[in-house]
Chain A
Amino acid sequence: MLVHVVMTFFVMLLIGVSIALPSGLWVIRDYLSYADLAWPTERGFNVFFERDAVDTQIDSTAQTIRNHNFVTEVFLIPKSVALEEFLTAADLPHIADGIAENPLPDTLTVFVKENIQIAEVERLTEFIQKLATVDQVSYDPQITVRFSAIHTIFNRLLWVVAGTFCLFALFVSASAVRIAIESRFHEIRILHVIGSPRRITRGPFLWCGFMYGVLGGILAAVLLTLVLIFVEEPLRTLTASYGVERDLQSLDWTFVGIVCAIGATLGLSSALYSTWRHLHRVTRNWVI
């Protein structure tokens, strides 16, 4: 009995790990994509003003940029705030009083829509560069290209990992159901002879596969929560550096439901395959 319970737990654990790994990668990718959005060079750029630019000129320029059809948002970082942030980040707050004049300019952070061609963004930056009071526009299309490529690679690898681990979960669950069928060969044989319909004979095994999947999914959600609690602090530090505040621990019920549904689907599919494959064998190669 104990051996049976331990084996069942290990099967669920293997399924849980198989689901948790790609799910975890997906959650982290999703989380980092928020930080990704906040990075101006990914889908935007910075506009640095001349140091003697006045507020009305800055507001006017910001409004001009805001009116452009593929600009989504424009944020102003006043030079006083920029200096304060810089000194805090550099751990030099004590020298603030010693600086006679703020050397930093006022800055606009401009975000553009997704899927905008680099050439179009470059045309916009050239236009802004010509505006009065604008000192410099900082836009590095190479970083955008690199990030985009890394993003694509990560996404594709995520699908490969998810596919591989789903196959692994299917294999584990199907093997567990096969073992269950073989351990109840005698009972299946009797049921077959006394006229048990196929749906009744295979019902317990389908249920078994389904439960392996659902419990594996729950285990995956628990594992995922534990891992995310473990990596929360460095991730929060990383994303906070891009100005993103997001609660990582709260895996919502929808996500847990999806993970369990994936587990249940995998478990049920493997049980369907296993019962078709092995019950078929029992009833075809008949020997009393």
Chain B
Amino acid sequence: MKIIEFNGVDHVFPDGTTPLQNISLSIEEGTLHFVVGPSGSGKTTLLNLLLGLYQPAEGEIWVNQCNICLLSERQLTLYRQHVGTVFQQNNLIPHRTVFENVAMPLWLRGTERSEVQRYVVQMLSGVGLQGFEDVLPLHLSSGDQQRVAIARALITGPRIVVADEPTGNLDRQLSGSVTQLLKHQTTLGVTVIMVSHDEELTRYADAISRLEPAPNMFGASTLK
């Protein structure tokens, strides 16, 4: 079943540049879908469109049979609460502990305190970080910080996880480990859309979309 669909999507920045043009893409539920391409090809823009952070100039984006381009700002906020997100870096709030960072999406949803405690401990255990609840993110390695970010992305049990180069700052071994962690989520029915420029990691992918910039460097990327 298709859970995400991009239909003829164009995006234009306020300065007039067009990073994406006529993008059509379907993503099946419960798969690890890679979006690859060189720097500047519009991979992050694609994810920002999927998160509703940008509005497309043309086309539609359907998520779980809902056109998110028609959602109000308030509805988009609710929508984002149901999508897990992981970035390349600066994922975590530095002055909050690991527990607080992971618990934040639950607090935003108004989950009861006792349940928050239970879910967070369980989730940290699931990503191999049990006992790190009271540690500040700065005291963790890059790989462990990404695990905390993945725990935060998964804590609300989202059906979709968006990961923007989550392995960009990690060595090969840690990259493999983080990607495996995300891959594992697909067995639980979670759809993971992962942007990467590391072709090596595509061996974990169920599907791959490749963004190719136009020959003219200011031109828009198209999907292969």
Query: Which residues of A are at the interface with B, using a C-beta cutoff of 8 A?
Result: 186-187, 190-198, 200, 286, 288
- A194 adjacent to B91 (CB under 8 Å): no
Q: Is B63 in the interface zone, CB < 8 Å from A? A: no
Contact residue among B47, B48, B79, B91 (Cβ-Cβ distance under 8 Å from A190): B91
Min C-beta distance of A188 to chain B, whole Å? 10
Residues from chain A with Cβ under 8 Å of B83 in the complex: 195
**In chain B, residues 43-91, which have Cβ atoms closer than 8 Å to a Cβ of chain A?**
44, 47-48, 51, 53-54, 73-74, 77-83, 85, 87, 90-91
Indicate whether A186 sits within 8 Å of B108 (C-beta atoms), given known contacts A195-B80, A195-B81, A286-B48: no
What does DSSP make chain A's interface, helix, strand, loop or mixed? helix
Q: List 13 A-B contacts (CB under 8 A).
A: A190-B93, A192-B53, A192-B80, A193-B53, A194-B80, A194-B104, A195-B78, A195-B83, A196-B108, A197-B77, A200-B108, A286-B53, A288-B87
Min C-beta distance of B77 to chain A, whole Å? 5
Contact residue among B47, B74, B90, B104 (Cβ-Cβ distance under 8 Å from A186): B90
Residues from chain A with Cβ under 8 Å of B47 in the complex: 288
Query: Which residues of B are at the interface with A, using a C-beta cutoff of 8 A?
Result: 44, 47-48, 51, 53-54, 73-74, 77-83, 85, 87, 90-94, 104-105, 108, 152, 164
Contact residue among A192, A195, A197 (Cβ-Cβ distance under 8 Å from B105): A195
- B93 adjacent to A288 (CB under 8 Å): no
Residues from chain B with Cβ under 8 Å of A192 in the complex: 53, 80
Min C-beta distance of B154 to chain A, whole Å? 12
Nearest residue (CB) in A for B101 is: A190
Most buried by B among A187, A191, A200: A187
Contact residue among B44, B74, B105 (Cβ-Cβ distance under 8 Å from A194): B105
Residues from chain A with Cβ under 8 Å of B81 in the complex: 194-195
- A196 adjacent to B85 (CB under 8 Å): no
Min C-beta distance of A192 to chain B, whole Å? 8
Nearest residue (CB) in B for A187 is: B93
Q: How far is the CA of A286 from the CA of B45 in the complex (A)?
A: 10
Residues from chain B with Cβ under 8 Å of A194 in the complex: 80-81, 85, 104-105, 108, 152
